[in-house]
Amino acid sequence: MKKLLVLAMLATGLASCGQKEAAKEETKTEAVAADSTQHAEAHSDSTKAYKCPMKCEGEKTYAQAGKCPSCGMDLAEVK
């Protein structure tokens, strides 16, 4: 009986951890989408925008040429 109770508690604990991870991932995805929107709006007035050719940061763009903070590659001009 104790084994059954322990297994039930373990299963409940694992299920709740999975839900927490899913909620964290959803929050992270929403933050990235909001950040991309802010960068797109900020760069809509400028003449040039740059982004990583490997798309490590999705559609995130920068106002100046430089290096991607994620992978270190040179940022490419968006045409």
Cβ atoms within 10 Å of 75's Cβ, excluding its own: 18
Cα–Cα distances in angstroms (integers) from residue 45 to residues 30, 33, 49, 62, in the given order:
24, 20, 10, 12
Q: Which amino acid, residue 17?
A: C
Under DSSP, is residue 3 helix (H, G, I), strand (E, B) or coil?
Answer: helix
pTM over 0.85: no
Q: What is the DSSP-derived secondary structure letter of residue 49?
A: -
Q: How far is Cα 31 from Cα 42, in angstroms, rounded to an integer?
A: 16
Per-residue pLDDT reduced to its tens digit, 2-52? 888 777 887 777 666 556 566 666 666 666 665 555 555 554 554 899 999
